[in-house]
Structure 1
């Protein structure tokens, strides 16, 4: 059989996708690997290395083997404009934080070794010192995420008693985890006060009983109640709690160390207003690795450090190294804003984004692309009522739908995740790096031309 006949006998992609052997693969992965396999067979036939065409069954076996070999956790280009995109890993680490994690991973370190005494040391000492300096708190502790931080605080303080919380703060966080469920796991009884939209100080006062162990304030970092609404300030709640000899635990959720758009409260403010324990995330507005951070008064933090759960919830050396490097940058706010990707993305001026959009659009010249103004969320359950003004390059493909273009870009060697809106694929500049522009343009041209 001559080469042309062999080329025509290569199985069609659509026929392969109908094979039951490939039913377990996602359509995007199956199409990508089927095209790759067909391309290699075609090249082999043209070069003379192949004399026959594999059967459809052989094609499927090759595709499935390649699917097994594909890395499950892969780098993607985030063109959605959402800096703290939960599905894409939230905050990107700064170069110094990534380097610190790399250094800790490949060599031994003084993780729990005191170089001065030659004895055992604390893995939290350096990070705790930085957190005390940056927040003004007396003590600090790090666990593996903010839900764990809340779990630990309530387990150590509230077990066997009641914890008072406003009904307007019974939040649900990602993955359908809810504050009432977390409280129940801590062995506490939840006493809800006030109404969904309004809670008064007297509601807390009337709820305090001999079995009350703490007042819990949860910052609604992933939603807002507007209109006829009201809540009790942290300072008023602290005053009441301390009159009754009780601690105030404040769950800030996202948490931030520097002022950001939207007026999000900072951790330093919560400490200043007297919260006894403040919990927040490391991988959201802080811009570091996934972690749950607790800061506050020594009398309440020290029992937490000795609690059995602390061992189960502790973080490893990679997280501590990355967190320490991230916090170190915050010693100089200008350095933090420049070095930490999440802060840089959240605060970049719109004019800068427009200039970058023009540079990307120039690389896409000849394609149906235009620059459009956008409003982008912070993501990660943060800054819920803040729309960040920005710019994107919008592509309106003629030969396929926007959804099909988005699917093809997800199947690229370095997957590109775009925002599909009104039959256009938007490339938001806020979450892209300039060094990726050439790859973006080359990949999009390869799909459309």
Structure 2
């Protein structure tokens, strides 16, 4: 008897096929061979039941190559209405920042002083601009804000006590907590006051020979209301200076200037914190600042010089493309009006709800004929996200899709090209257009339409 698996083309003959030649140039010979081998194995396994020819093998290899070459980190359309969505990478970069990042992807003077030809420091690239914008004496950039806080604690309070109000022992993303960051940084946490009320006297009573640092943490991702109080920053500065203890202020999201977001709840700003007299302020680059992920430390020049010499800085080192994108973002802040127009985070947060609604009306997805789906443009509420302005709703608008299984529609949109992420409210699939710039709205509508068509096909089948 003849084995039905015989007669399949050899690997050499497949590699010589004209259809395969472009694959070799794009994916490389070894990758193409592996996909062809997988397709041949599937064809041989199916032989005798569902015989496959050469074209079937090539088709299988083509799909295998596409699947294996698809990047896991992909551009995603944000229809959630959460501007600083942690799962979606927080702040989208301004065009100037993306251009600077691309330019820095090759060789660059990361640690070379062009004026002298001698070795320089990567931490010089953003420092002057940070100081110009905030009034700080010096500045340094780490790879994220948790690293910035850890570096400050390690340098100023290693094996010593760090005073933190109980009402500021926050948990940040990924279940990481301020007490854990302090402990792993070498400091000994000393809790001050109570969860809802802390006074200057509580800090003063806790200060002793073992005190190395007072750490003020902005509770940016929650609110304490009702019978609550904590001392002003100015009062803490006065206490710290009178006792000769450094005061660091972790701003979290880190808005540079409250005037950039009129109508939003007032919170601490980098400029205001340093003007009040804190020794060091730390904040994130990829939240309200609207830049890449980074941790900015600004303040006293002598303390910054100590941080630069700390061995941990090597572990927290920021890379060249991040520095380039951050510097380009910071430069936009020299003109607040320009920053408001060019930085996507600020633009999305400031955009009037009527403008968002007009953009939603201009590209409403159309369900396929006979589909029970209905798409309506409706007002809704967005939010800042990223631990900024907790509980503060932003008037917005977008699409509400009803009449179909919202969970299935959400899954189909996530599987789209590009993926579209929305949210589900009261059995409706919601796409908030505030977080979809004009260039992406039509694409998002297309993703919804194709997803609805697939649901309709499944229903007919």
TM-score (structure 2 length as normaliser)? 0.82
2:417 to 392, 413, 416: 413
1:391 matches 2:397: yes
Q: What secondary structure is seen at the aligned counterpart in 1 of 2:73?
A: coil
Q: For residues 291-330 of structure 1, what are the structure 2 equivalents within 5 Å? A: 291-330=294-333
Structure 1 residue 54: Cα displacement: 7.0
Distance 1:62 1:268 in 2: 55
2:348 aligned with 1:349: no
1:284 deviates by 0.4
Alignment of 1:47-446 (within 5 A): 67-106=67-106, 108-259=107-258, 260=261, 261-361=264-364, 368-396=374-402, 398=403, 400-446=404-450
Q: How far did 1:386 drift?
A: 1.5
Q: Which moved more, 1:362-371 or 1:428-437?
A: 362-371
> How many matched pairs?
398
State the Cα distance separating 1:160 from its structure 2 match. Answer: 1.5
What are structure 2's unaligned runs of at least 5 residues? Answer: 1-38, 44-51, 454-461
Cα distance in 2 for residues equivalent to 1:143 and 1:53: 53
Consecutive unaligned residues in structure 1, runs of 5 or more? 1-36, 42-49
1:54-77 residue CA offsets vs partner (Å, 9 max, x unmatched): 79xx99998776543321111111
How far has the Cα of 1:142 moved from its partner?
A: 0.2
Say if 1:363 and 1:127 are closer, same or farther in 2 by CA, change over 3 A: farther
Contact 1:159 / 1:186 at 8 angstroms: preserved in 2? yes
Q: Is the 8 A contact 1:364 1:441 kept in 2?
A: no
Cα distance in 2 for partners of 1:126, 1:243 equals: 34
Q: Distance in 2 between matches of 1:61 and 1:221?
A: 50
1:203-258 Cα shifts (integer Å, max 9, x gaps): 00000001111111100011110111001111100100110001101111111113
SS in 2 for 1:383: coil
What CA distance in whole angstroms lies between the structure 2 residues aligned with 1:102 and 1:53? 40
- Displacement of 1:117 after TM fit? 1.8
- Kindly provide the CA deviation profile for residues 20-42 of structure 1, in whole angstroms up to 9, marking residues without a partner as x: xxxxxxxxxxxxxxxxx9xxx9x
SS at match of 2:222: coil
Secondary structure, counterpart of 2:362 in structure 1: helix
Q: CA RMSD in A?
A: 2.4
> Given the superposition, is the C-alpha separation of residues 245 and 51 from structure 1 closer, same or farther in structure 2, using an over 3 Å criterion?
closer
- Aligned to 2:202, what secondary structure does the other structure show? helix
Return the alpha-carbon distance in structure 2 between the equivalents of residues 444 and 165 of structure 1: 48
- The offset of 1:124, in angstroms, is 2.0
